[in-house]
Amino acid sequence: MTDLREIRFAPVALDDLAAAEGRVAVFVPDEGTLSPGARRLNRLTKGALARALESAAWGKVKEGAALSLAWPAGMACEAVDVIKLSRRAKPDAARKAGAGLAKRAGAKALTVLAENMAHPQEFAMGVALRSYNFVDHKSDKGEAPEAVVMMCKDASAAEAAAAPLLAVAEGVFFTRDLVTEPANVLTTTEFADRLVALSALGVEVEVLEEDKLEELGMGALLCVGQGSASPSKVVVMRWQGAKGAPLALVGKGVVFDTGGISLKPAGGMEDMTMDMGGAGVVAGLMKALATRKAPANVVGLVGLVENMPSGTAVRPGDVVTSMKGDTVEVINTDAEGRLVLADVLWHAQKAENPAAVIDLATLTGACIIALGHDNAAVFANDEAFAGDLLKAAEQEGEGAWRMPLGTSYDEALKSPVADMRNVGGRAAGAITAAQFLQRFIKDDMPWIHLDIAGVAHVPKDTDFAPKGATGWGVMALDRLVRDRFEQG
């Protein structure tokens, strides 16, 4: 598992700058005004800092980016990074600047002169997020990242402000690790075991095995995993940091998706280790909430299955009965995620009596065609709830875009032999998938469906993560919980 990089907060100690190893970072606004610490660095480097600020290169540096002075005379460090950042920079700008510095520095030690920063905790969050590196299965694990020292005017206040943010970063890392793990490691049993381990943080964890799922009538979920040797499971995680009805989070946890009998093409199938991304986000959020001791009542439920072709696999044309009692004609076994979610959504409402429900899933390729890798698709039956989620996602810099629902799309789900079919054809594929899920939401239940197919695992670096697993959603949902569901 990937550990969070060590970040320490310390009082400003200008006398320590000359001996600092690795890299030293200092903030200078666009106009080039030097803080006391920057003036000290300028004296140590024999005026190199001032000369750099007078150069044409400084004028080309964008807000939040850095100009580096390599091997400065008079200092032990390898480089001084002069970061262009206004003293009135907003939190998101400080976070991006931190991520940019972490990418530039790699595993090197960092001393950050944050004496004049408005949001040192956000800068630290950016450093933490962008320092992620999954090396569990590599023989050469590279250099272990060295510590980051943030020199602040009020180190205690900065450390206190950073603590809940870094707790969320731990949740993001947990999600990224889960999404990145290969399927021969992250089996349904291993996934459940990692979630059971959250009990050490105070999360109440319950694992529902196949016999219990059969007893509950989860025929839709069970049909997905019946072709696999790995047992299907539902894991329920309860964080009871407050009284009242909980927010319920439901995640699709298909640990590997071959498509089943409706077999996927071979090209790119190796990426289907990430088809448990929705469950990964739910798990990461539960870890974040427990780590920061959130005063909220939240329950996370994940359906863990593997979709494999075999002599026992569900076939196109089979009819299965959901926990709700509705029957579903399985037209395409590669549209399995909605079958998993249908039963877990119904169980969440029946067993947990939530105040609201959010489900997350790497559900449709159609979502990627519509929105690419920049935005998750947001479907909702409640305007205020949707607005709160979109606001939280924007504040955390996680792209999300509202998509439509409507009864006109239901026509595509009609079946001649069952209550519905599990696919509606190529047209509006992400929407008809959401329409299918809405049938398993009670009429008076506020509900959001997040199709994260395009954002859970991306083909190139983002501001806050290397290419691959992003942990999208942990930060946005944590902020939604803080803003809407916390008490006191």
Catalytic residues: 264, 338
Q: How many whole angstroms from its chain centre is CA 103?
A: 19
SS3 111: strand
Q: How many whole angstroms from its chain centre is CA 84?
A: 28
Query: Token digits for 62?
Result: 């964008």
SS3 451: strand
Residue with token string 């459940």: 192
By CB atoms closer than 10 A (0-12, 13-18, 19+), residue 324 is: buried
Give the bridge partners for 25, in sequence order: 81, 112
Q: Mutual orientation of helices 120-130 and 155-180 as an angle, nearest 10°?
A: 20
Give the bridge partners for 8, in sequence order: 149
DSSP 103: H
Give the bridge partners for 300, in sequence order: 237, 249
CA atoms of 251 and 235, how far apart (whole Å): 10
DSSP 39: H
Q: How many whole angstroms from its chain centre is CA 192?
A: 19
CA atoms of 375 and 388, how far apart (whole Å): 16
